[in-house]
Amino acid sequence: MSSTDQSPTSNFIRNIIIDDIQAQKYKRPIMTRFPPEPNGYLHIGHAKSICLNFGLAAEFGGVCNLRFDDTNPSKEEIEYVESIQEDVRWLGFDWESRLYYASDYFNRLYDHAVQLIQKGKAYVCSLSADDIRQYRGTLTEPGKDSPYRNRLVEENLDLFARMRNGDFPDGTHVLRAKIDMAAPNLVMRDPTIYRIRHASHHRTGDTWCIYPMYDFTHCLSDAIEGITHSICTLEFENNRSLYDWVLDELEVACHPQQIEFARLNLTYAVLSKRKMIELVEKKYVSGWNDPRMPSISGIRRRGYPPEAIRNFCERIGVARRDSTVDMALLEHCVRENLNDRAPRVMAVLNPIRVVIDNYPEGQVEWLEAPYHPENPQMGSRNLPFSKTLFIEADDFMEDPPKKFYRLAPGREVRLRYAFFIKCAYVVKDEITGKILELHCTYDPETRGGGAPDGRKVKATLHWVSADHAIGAEVRLYNHLFTRPDPDSAKDGTDFKEFINPDSLIPLTDCRLEPALADAASGSHYQFERLGYFCVDTVDSRQTAPVFNRTVTLKDEWAKIRNK
Ligand code: ATP
Ligand code: MG
């Protein structure tokens, strides 16, 4: 990954726009658009396109439209239309009053198709879909003309009108652009621009039974709205000739420039709506907003802040060469953002009971602890300390190996913001041998964490007071896949075979310090020594809180970068 090397704001699309503005190519502010097809939820790859389109428009005093590319009635749903708007807004972008639908242009698109027929530049083809494919030829062989290619204009107009009227079943006829069946670019071999589809559309209902194809719709929608720069991903590079052909053949007020960039690929993720739908429908995940999903709704629920995602999109840059970005960079951006603003609190995920034998029964003292050591404005809270505490089970070992510096029999450690404690003995279940509780003593002279005699301890542990702690479920998330490229197994193994069985680890017996009792839905915390966590927006209840691990504390990216 070299994108962090480049200056963050400069990219080739931005340079094109700067040149166009300097050359006064447009007598008006620039206009871009984000054109999702409402056939799934948005993912982090879309965030790259959103940040680019809205970001460039904002930077150069232009505007960016949100346009639903809703030409495929059978796969599109209102749920997606709504989630997409929510996600774009959440990312921090505003289309103001410019919310458009390609379906709003169906009448005008139909009229444009009629114009093409009248010019002799489109014809109704009655070959089957299979035959059309056969006739198209290959990269090395030219295609063959359809036997319907030379239908007369009048006949084409009549058939097209009857297609619209619903006189024919699906698949019997299509309208094709009449370009060149021997064109080296296969896209130009008389592409289909309209097909019959007797299906209800989520906005136009049963008004239409013919629907325009992407290549015909997209360029005309751009032209209708007055888009200046039509930014899309590289797979549309070959379609640019058709984009330009349609706009050149028709009388349109504006001819936007299509510019392609490399789509975002991310390790340990699949960024394809089709595959994500499969994960949802086959219940590999709990839904589109499962915190393991790379969907915007998933990462939002996971606790990734929108600023971190915008920052990530800035850092990965925009290029024309395909590349895969390391998930660790995304996590690094999240960590960097939360490091400054998440209050630091104590939570014990796998509790083990600690009894302080020399602490008076029934006594509680409240110890002041800052929410962020480097950021005093974040304030502080008081932590209750009492005779019975919980610490993390793996912070204790009965028979520790050499490098284990935490609690062990006879060993003294510091409890964060509290006292030194020393382990006296261990109580075990007589039958199973399982450790039930640790008995310790505390040194009242060490309140606040230091010993007056200057003696040192090698570890500082987090803890909570047993009687004051609140119970919670904490969900630990790991990569959804066991390999960085689940999509490209050489032997063709399906990506679902690589789902990580440990991608979700629910811990149901966690104990949180009492200040977390009023944690707001979605709010972020650092659990000291454990990572960043947020209150789950779906399953958390006042009486039964649920926290998601957003990201661990360890900065793997820093390691990679410093290599
Ligand atoms: P998928 O391939 O997952 O079905 P799509 O490209 O069909 O996605 P659209 O709804 O058509 O999804 O995408 C809307 C816009 O987002 C398009 O301009 C598309 O180029 C862009 N986009 C989609 N995926 C990515 C990605 N991974 N990186 C950057 N831009 C993307
Ligand atoms: Mg698409």
> Considering its fold, how many domains does the chain have in total?
3
Beta-carbon count within 10 A of 23 CB: 8
According to DSSP, residue 508 is labeled E
Q: C-alpha 153: how far from its chain's center?
A: 48
Does 263 participate in catalysis according to the annotation? yes
pLDDT tens per residue across span 49-93:
999 999 999 999 999 999 999 999 977 789 999 999 999 999 999
Q: Hey, which of 13, 46, 66, 93 would you mutate to test ligand 1's pocket, going by the most ligand atoms within 8 Å of its Cβ?
A: 46
In a shared domain, residues 303 and 387: no
More confident residue, 327 or 489: 327
Query: Could you list the residue range(s) of the whole structural domain that residue 226 is in?
Result: 12-261
Residue 539's pLDDT band (cuts 50, 70, 90): very high
For 535, residues 6+ apart whose C-beta sits below 8 A from its C-beta are: 519, 520, 521, 522, 523, 545, 546, 547, 548
> How many angstroms separate the alpha carbon of residue 24 from the centre of ligand 1?
30
| Selected catalytic residue, list 33, 189, 195, 273 | 273
The pLDDT value given to residue 199? 96
In a shared domain, residues 454 and 490: no
The pLDDT value given to residue 8? 46
Residue 4's pLDDT band (cuts 50, 70, 90): very low
- Say yes or no to pLDDT of 2 above 90: no
> How many angstroms separate the alpha carbon of residue 71 from the centre of ligand 2?
11
Q: Is residue 3 part of a domain?
A: no
When computed from its CA atoms, the radius of gyration of the chain, rounded to whole angstroms, is 31
In a shared domain, residues 370 and 456: yes
Nearest ligand to the C-alpha of residue 231? 1
Q: Is residue 5 part of a domain?
A: no
pLDDT tens per residue across span 282-314:
999 999 999 999 999 999 999 999 999 999 999
Nearest ligand to the C-alpha of residue 325? 1
The pLDDT value given to residue 556? 55
Contact of 389 with 466, CB cutoff 8 Å: yes
> How many angstroms separate the alpha carbon of residue 305 from the centre of ligand 2?
26
> How many angstroms separate the alpha carbon of residue 36 from the centre of ligand 2?
7
In a shared domain, residues 168 and 245: yes
> How many angstroms separate the alpha carbon of residue 37 from the centre of ligand 2?
6
Residue 9's pLDDT band (cuts 50, 70, 90): low
The CA distance from 504 to 275, in Å, is 19
In a shared domain, residues 73 and 163: yes
Q: Is residue 7 part of a domain?
A: no
pLDDT tens per residue across span 166-190:
999 999 999 999 999 999 999 999 9
In a shared domain, residues 30 and 95: yes
Domain termination residue (choose one: 261, 290, 320): 261
Binding site membership of 296 for ligand 1 (Cβ less than 6 Å):
no
Q: Is residue 2 part of a domain?
A: no
- Say yes or no to pLDDT of 266 above 90: yes
More confident residue, 291 or 3: 291
Residue 558's pLDDT band (cuts 50, 70, 90): low
The CA distance from 198 to 352, in Å, is 64
In a shared domain, residues 325 and 374: no
Nearest ligand to the C-alpha of residue 261? 1
> How many angstroms separate the alpha carbon of residue 232 from the centre of ligand 2?
9
Beta-carbon count within 10 A of 30 CB: 20
In a shared domain, residues 41 and 128: yes
Binding site membership of 52 for ligand 1 (Cβ less than 6 Å):
no
Q: Is residue 180 part of a domain?
A: yes
In a shared domain, residues 115 and 224: yes
The pLDDT value given to residue 116? 98
With helix as H, strand as E and coil as C, how does 37-95 read?
A: CCCCCCEHHHHHHHHHHHHHHHHCCCEEEEEECCCCHHHCCHHHHHHHHHHHHHHCCCC
Residue 3's pLDDT band (cuts 50, 70, 90): very low
Q: Give me the phi and psi of 369, to 5 degrees please.
A: -140, 125
CATH of the domain at 402: 2.40.240.10
Binding site membership of 264 for ligand 1 (Cβ less than 6 Å):
yes
- Say yes or no to pLDDT of 148 above 80: yes
Q: Is residue 4 part of a domain?
A: no
Question: Token pair of 13, please?
Answer: 């699309």
User: For all residues of the chain together, what is the average pLDDT?
Assistant: 95
Q: Is residue 187 part of a domain?
A: yes
Q: Hey, which of 66, 233, 288 would you mutate to test ligand 1's pocket, going by the most ligand atoms within 8 Å of its Cβ?
A: 233
The CA distance from 198 to 168, in Å, is 9
In a shared domain, residues 134 and 246: yes
Whole-model pTM? 0.94
Question: Token pair of 441, please?
Answer: 């003593």
Domain termination residue (choose one: 233, 261, 289): 261
In a shared domain, residues 189 and 297: no
CB under 8 Å, gap of 24 or more: what pairs does 240-246 form?
241/185, 241/187, 241/188, 242/177, 242/179, 242/187, 242/188, 242/191, 242/215, 243/215, 243/218, 243/219, 244/219, 245/177, 245/179, 245/188, 246/177, 246/193, 246/215, 246/216, 246/219, 246/220
- Say yes or no to pLDDT of 7 above 50: no
What is the phi-psi region of residue 154: left when phi exceeds 0, alpha when psi lies from -120 to 50, beta otherwise? alpha
Q: Is residue 532 part of a domain?
A: yes
pLDDT tens per residue across span 98-137:
999 999 999 999 999 999 999 999 999 999 999 999 999 9
- Say yes or no to pLDDT of 220 above 60: yes
Binding site membership of 473 for ligand 1 (Cβ less than 6 Å):
no
Binding site membership of 49 for ligand 1 (Cβ less than 6 Å):
yes
In a shared domain, residues 366 and 384: yes
Nearest ligand to the C-alpha of residue 80? 1
The CA distance from 145 to 136, in Å, is 8
Domain termination residue (choose one: 209, 236, 261): 261
CATH of the domain at 86: 3.40.50.620
